[in-house]
Amino acid sequence: MRRITTSVLALGLAVVALTGCAVSITDEREAATPLASPTPAPSLEAATDDPRPEVIAPPAPDASLAPDAPSNLRTREEAIAIADTTIACTPGLVIADDGKVVRVEGACADVTVSGFATVVVVDDVSTLTVSGSGIVVYAQQVGDLVVSGDVNTILWRGSAPRLDDTGVATTSVRDAR
């Protein structure tokens, strides 16, 4: 008898599964509320003769939103105001102060910035070399820019420098702020 009951139950479940029957449990309060009428399917007669999908062009880029300096960084003037040290440019200047804000005054033939989490504000530099990690450099004008290291950001004004970038996650953009 058990074998027959199990077989009948299994057969009944198979029939229900194959026929697509559905069971729903309804709350009495929901049953008393009339259902909304279904939304009609779109008419094929309203379709256009053009089989191509409608293409929506992206909005024209706003010049004020151009990919310039990242908004999470201070401006050049703010960085100058919080500088830990102000030095005059000297030939072959190397700045390797970790975690400092350094202001370099005057035009430089070449400046090298290395270390970690350093902020440097320079004026005009013929060759700027940035190595290290987490460095931010604000420059008025840069001729040649050589970047290595990780997550370094160089913001420049004036014409674009010639760039040699072997770094990882480097940002080099015009600072129009």
More confident residue, 43 or 149: 149
Structural domain for 97, as ranges: 74-174
- What local confidence, expressed as pLDDT, does residue 50 receive? 53
Tokens 């256009």 found at? 48
Residue 74 has pLDDT above 60, yes or no: yes
In a domain, 79, yes or no: yes
- What local confidence, expressed as pLDDT, does residue 63 receive? 37
In a domain, 19, yes or no: no
In a domain, 108, yes or no: yes
Residue 150 has pLDDT above 60, yes or no: yes
Confidence (pTM): 0.62
In a domain, 42, yes or no: no
More confident residue, 19 or 135: 135
List, in sequence order, every residue forming a beta bridge with 124; answer none if it has no partner: 141
Per-residue pLDDT averaged across 55-78, rounded? 61
What pLDDT band is residue 176 in, cutting at 50, 70 and 90?
Answer: confident
Residue 156 has pLDDT above 70, yes or no: yes
CA distances from 61 to 47, 142, 157, 171 (A): 32, 27, 21, 20
In a domain, 87, yes or no: yes
Residue 70 has pLDDT above 50, yes or no: yes
| CA pair distance 53, 95, nearest whole angstrom | 57
In a domain, 27, yes or no: no
Encoding tokens for residue 138?
A: 């604000």
Residue 68 has pLDDT above 70, yes or no: no
Encoding tokens for residue 95?
A: 């700045």
Q: How many structural domains are present in the chain?
A: 1
